[in-house]
Amino acid sequence: SAVAESTEPSSEGPVEKDDSKYRVGGAVSDAYVDPSKHAVSGQELKAQGFEYDQESLTYELVWSDEFDYEGEPDPEKWGYDVGGGGWGNHELQYYTKAENASVADGVLTIQARKEQVGFYEYTSSRLVTRQKGDWLYCKVEVSAKLPRGKGTWPAIWMLPTDWEYGDWPASGEIDIMEHVGYDQDVIVQSVHSTKYHAANSKSGSYKIEGVSDEFHTYSVEWLPDKIIFSVDGEEKYTYDPNKLSKQPTKAIWPYDKRMHLLINLAFGGDWGGARGIDDSYFPVDYYIDYVRVYQSPEIMELTGQTLEK
């Protein structure tokens, strides 16, 4: 009924509840939101509907560079992003082609130097596999020894090849390893998307001793519904869009388009130079022992792809 009696005793007798003031029974709260009016259509939903046993997945090597040769990086596997302009982060270096990247003694070396190129006082290199190595869902492993020095900013990361969802950050970014010289031995692994990017990116940060003294393996397992980051075979951070939203869209999961790999050494910039720079270390070397990319036949079949080696 519209009127209910209180079960609590009162000196003034039973208390009546006025339905015009209190929402009771079948009345609807003014704050109620009809979920059917805000549901995401099936075409817009991302990272859902994939059934597989992660523990039983197998992987096959589909692309690699062991750097078991001498000279410039293999042109069949590597291209370069060239130039200056800060690269969106007010970085100080000018990226050359192979002038700052060479292969010898089983390793790739990217060297940052203090030398003038036009208006720029520093040079380095940014290697990319774009149009030479592009994948949709894969496992990447890179063995690297990182440079020292305040201002250095080495990275191993992935960007979209086709930018189908729009310019950065709409089409996504996967950072397999980032390190800044002022925060020695701290590794950051992260993702960037429309909803989560820049200072609001989703990431893991952890202390890894001796990153500039010895090689460590930085890896990512990119699956159709989650991204798992590891260091030296130990899982460190997992980006799971279904834990962030019941209806994930491209705003948090643009990671269903092919991407390529980048390896670079920046200097200065918004993060690398956040606590100043010190070029007394120069030249500085960033060593890569190997790069290996694997794909899972089970995931490829599940997502309608063909495993090509």
Count of H-run helices and E-run strands, the chain: 2, 17
Alpha carbons 158 and 180: distance in angstroms, whole number:
18
Q: How far is CA 246 from CA 34, 41, 171, in A?
A: 15, 13, 21
**What is residue 290's three-state secondary structure?**
strand
Alpha carbons 254 and 46: distance in angstroms, whole number:
8
Catalytic residue among 72, 173, 235, 308: 173
Provide DSSP, 15-67. PBPPTTTS--TT---TT---GGGSPPPTTT--S-S----GGG---EEEEEE--
Verify whether residue 178 is a known catalytic residue. yes
Can you name the residues that pair with 110 across neighbouring β-strands?
Answer: 101, 286
Chain centroid, CA 10 distance in Å:
63
**Other Cβ atoms closer than 10 A to 104:** 11
Catalytic residue among 91, 141, 178, 221: 178
Q: Is-contact 114 121, C-beta < 8 A?
A: yes
First to last CA, the chain: 72
User: What's the burial of 244, exposed, middle or buried (CB within 10 Å: 0-12/13-18/19+)?
Assistant: middle
What positions carry a catalytic annotation? Answer: 173, 178
